[in-house]
């Protein structure tokens, strides 16, 4: 889920007019830090998968799939504007609220 929140709220490749990535390193490509993460409550529901070995079910990166969309829907509902580009920065949301056009900033 932390990957999904980071993707939705701050991760963006900045590309110049010639197609060069302007933020290629971790100093300029902003990932969400541990201290910025919300508290997660994890609950396991044990339902066997009949196709998995001994009923095993994959655990992997399922949280990254729905998290960005859930955040976008929550922020769209709260702000009253459609948010359909990532990252959902405060500047992006504000520009949509005041009627400016354009993609994420």
Per the annotation, the verdict on 61 as an active-site residue is yes
* Residue 12 CB neighbours (<10 A): 17
* Catalytic one of 36, 46, 51, 61: 61
Burial 36-75, CB ≥16 within 10 A → b, else e? eeeeeeeeeeeeeeeeeeeeeeeeeeeebeebbeebbeeb
Task: Give the residue numbers marked as catalytic.
Answer: 61
């Amino acid at each position: 889920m932390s990957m999904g929140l980071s993707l939705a709220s701050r991760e963006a490749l900045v590309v110049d007019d010639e197609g060069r990535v302007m933020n290629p390193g971790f100093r300029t490509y902003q990932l969400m830090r541990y201290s910025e993460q919300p508290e997660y409550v994890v609950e396991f529901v044990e339902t066997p998968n009949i196709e998995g070995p001994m009923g095993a079910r994959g655990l992997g990166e399922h949280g990254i799939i729905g998290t960005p969309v859930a955040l976008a829907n929550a922020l769209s509902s709260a702000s009253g504007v459609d948010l359909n580009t990532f990252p959902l920065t405060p500047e992006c949301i504000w520009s949509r609220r005041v009627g400016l056009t354009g993609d994420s900033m």
